[in-house]
């Protein structure tokens, strides 16, 4: 039964969906940030890899020649300063006196440019025929655009 004096109900204001809108906006921002970070990380990785790979390859090539017992080819990969300190025959004799390398693993590569001179340090674990693993750091410099092993070669 209805009362004759019953007031008509005022129309309900439309429901606001503020929480839903805020959550959608936050979700979109998170997706954009994560996507941007992922893409940025990918390009950073590619840039670093492009800078360090040639130095790593040069050091690995040098060690591979030593593993194969090819001291002459390894000598050709030395920088000028090191070749001046170690003539070819002295280098070959020094390599012959060292334990033979049976394997290697690159542990790290660091490339830097200081005062316009680009150099790299490649750390490797050298597995010797004695079974011992030697941690060795090879210093490389760019000579005429080519990475060369410099300093204490082995």
**Cβ contacts of 66 within 8 Å, gap of 6 or more:** 74, 95, 101, 154
35 vs 114: CA distance, rounded Å: 34
What is the pLDDT at residue 5?
65
Express each pLDDT in 51-93 by its tens digit.
689 999 999 999 999 999 999 999 999 999 999 999 999 999 9
Can you read off the two tokens belonging to residue 74? 């390894």
Residue in the structure block whose two tokens are 């429901």 = 15
Question: For the chain, which domains are there?
Answer: 55-150 (3.10.450.100)
Model pTM score: 0.69
Band the pLDDT of 39: cuts 50, 70, 90. low
Q: Please, which contacts does 19-26 make with residues 24 or more away whose CB atoms are closer than 8 Å?
A: none
What is the pLDDT at residue 4?
62
Can you read off the two tokens belonging to residue 97? 């006196």
């Amino acid at each position: 039964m209805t009362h004759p004096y019953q007031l008509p109900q005022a129309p309900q204001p439309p429901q606001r969906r503020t929480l839903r809108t805020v959550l959608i906006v936050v979700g979109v921002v998170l997706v954009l940030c994560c996507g941007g970070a992922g893409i940025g990380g990918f390009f950073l990785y590619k840039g670093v890899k492009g800078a360090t790979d040639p130095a790593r390859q040069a050091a690995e090539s040098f060690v591979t020649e030593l593993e194969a017992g090819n001291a002459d080819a390894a000598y050709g990969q030395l920088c000028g300063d090191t070749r001046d300190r170690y003539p070819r025959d002295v280098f070959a004799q020094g390599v012959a006196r060292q334990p033979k390398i049976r394997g290697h693993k690159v542990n790290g590569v660091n490339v830097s440019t200081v005062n316009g001179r680009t150099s790299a340090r490649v750390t490797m674990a050298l597995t010797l025929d004695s079974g011992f693993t030697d941690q060795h750091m090879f210093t490389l410099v760019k000579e005429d655009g080519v990475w060369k092993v410099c300093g204490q070669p082995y």
